[in-house]
Amino acid sequence: MRCLLFFSWITIVLLVESTRLAHGQMTAVLTGSVTDAMSGKPMPFANVYLNGSTRGTVTDEKGFYTLAGLPLGTVEIAASFVGYQPTTQTIRFDNTTLQKANFSLKPSEQTLDAVTVRGNPKQWERHLRQFKKQFFGEPFGGQCLLVNSEILNFKADKEHLYATASEPLIIDNQALGYRIIYALHHFDAAASGDVYSAGTARFEELKPENERQANQFKRNRLMAYKGSIRHLMTSLINNTFEQAGFMVYQEDVTKMISLESRTITLTAAINDHKRLIPLKTSTAIQPGRLATERRLVSPMKLIVFYTNATSSFSPYPDARYAYTEMRLPRGQLQMTVDGVITMPEGMEAKGSMGNDRLSTLLPADWKPEGVDKEALSNSQLATQGKLAPPTLAWNGSRRHSTGDSRYWLLRCLFTSTNHSTPLATGSG
C-alpha cells in the first residue's frame, strides 16, 4: 500500500513539474473520466484531447484520463469514441491548479440505427468526390488522403449534399505532414458552392520518409500559415503586421462617399474621404487576463489587405490585394500571444481570410520558429489557387455559418469562389 501511495505521489509531482516544462511556459493539467451516457459505465480507451491540436490522451481501463501540457487561458476539450457522439467542454485555466472535467458520451444515431443502406455505388462515389473537393479545399486538397471513406454516408436533397460519418474521419495530409482525426458533426454542401461543416479535430504528426520530405512539410506549413487570420493576429500583437505584408484599417462608416463616385481608390478613401483610418496597435491590442493573452479591440469594422497575394474581391482598383472585412460584434476578441483566437466573441470575416479549409489547417500548438519567422517578413506566397469564403463567422470556439465560421476550426462556411491569388515569385 505504501508503495502504491509512493508511486501516486511521484506521478503527481511529475505532472506538476510538467506544467513548468512544456514549451518553456506554464501549463495546466486536466483529469476526469469518460462514461457511457446510457449505462453510466466507464469507457476505457476513449480519446480526450485539446480540440484543434496535437495534445491528447486516452482513458485507462477504468475510464479515467490525465491530460497534461494544456495552455493557460480558455481551452476547448473534446472527448470521442468510435460509435459515440463526440462532446466538448470549454474550460478556463487562470493558473496551474489541477482541474477536473467528466464527459458522458451518447451512442451516435447511426449506431442506434444499426444498419445504413447504401444506394447506387456510382452515385456514392460521385458524392465522395464532391465531398473531398469541398471539404479539403486548395491548395493541398489533392495531397489529402481520406483513409476510411467507407464510413461516410451521403444524402442529396434540394440541391444540397449532406454527409454523415459513423466514426471519426482519418485524413492524412501528406502536404503538411499531419494525420487528422476529425469527428464530423455536420456537412452541408449547396449547389451554389456554399459549404457548412462542423466537427472537432486532433492532430498526429506523420513521420517523414526522409529529410527532403521533412523540409517539404516545414515549407508547406509555413505556406498554409501565410496570410491566415492567425498570421495577422500574431503580427498585430508583435506590431510587425506591415513587415509581414498586411495593411490594416478601421472603417469609419459615418464618412459617406458620394454615389456619383462609381470607383474610389484606396488612396482617396484614406486621404480624401477619411473613411479608412490606419490601425494603431497601441490602442487596438490590449492586455488579457493573463500574460499569455491579448485582446483585439475595435468598435469599427477592420479592413485588411494582404499584399503578398492578389484578389479581384478588393473594391479598390489601386489595391487588388487579398482583401478581408472583419467585424467584431462585441467590439473585441480574445487570443493567445501566438495569435490563436480563444474567444472570438462572434467575430465575422468576409473575403480572402476565411481560407482555412482542411488542407491548410494547422494545429493550434504549431508555430513558426527560428528562420521561419524571418521568412514571414514580407515574403510572397508561391502556391496557386487558395480559396476564400465570402463570410466566416466565429461564435464560441468553433466556426459556423450565421447566414450573413478555431483554430478552433471547427465550424465553417465556405464558398467555391476564389477571391485570392498569390503573387508569383520573381524568376530572378
CATH number of residue 105's parent domain: 2.60.40.1120
| Residues 128-185: tens digit of each pLDDT | 999 999 899 888 999 999 999 999 999 999 889 999 998 899 999 999 999 999 999 8
Residues 296, 406 share a domain: yes
Residues 230, 301, single domain; the answer is yes
Question: Which 3 state secondary structure label does DSSP give 234?
Answer: helix
Q: Could you tell me if residue 407 is inside a domain?
A: yes
Q: Is residue 8 part of a domain?
A: no
Does 280 lie in the same domain as 373?
A: yes
Check whether residue 265 and residue 318 sit in a common domain. yes
**362: CB partners within 8 A, 6+ apart:** 176, 221, 224, 225, 230, 407
pLDDT, position 385: 33
370 or 61, which is more confident: 61
Last residue of a domain, one of 89, 112, 135: 112
Whether residue 292 is contained in a domain is answered as: yes
The answer to the question of residue 15 being in a domain is: no
User: In the chain, how many domains are there?
Assistant: 3
Q: Are residues 385 and 306 in the same domain?
A: yes
Lowest mean pLDDT among 234-243, 335-344, 387-396: 387-396
For residues 330 and 245, state if they share a domain.
yes
- Within-domain flag for 16: no
Same domain for 316 and 345: yes
Does pLDDT of 57 surpass 90?
Answer: yes
> Of the ranges 109-118, 259-268, 270-279, which one carries the lowest mean pLDDT score?
109-118
Is 276 within a domain? yes
Which H helix or E strand runs over 233? helix 229-237
Q: How sure is the predictor about 405, in pLDDT bands with cuts at 50, 70 and 90?
A: very low
Same domain, 393 and 309: yes
Residues 288 and 145 in one domain: no
Instruction: Answer yes or no: are the C-beta atoms of 420 and 309 closer than 8 Å.
Output: yes
Q: Is the sign of the CA dihedral 93, 96, 97, 103 positive or negative?
A: positive
Q: CB within 8 A of 140, min separation 6: which ones?
A: 173, 175, 176, 220, 224, 359, 360
Instruction: Identify the domain containing residue 138 by its residue range.
Output: 121-205
pLDDT in tens, 77-114: 999 998 898 999 999 999 999 999 999 999 987 544 43
Task: Answer with the one of 78, 112, 146 that is the final residue of a domain.
Answer: 112
Q: Which of 65, 81, 112 is the last residue of a domain?
A: 112
* pLDDT value of position 150: 93
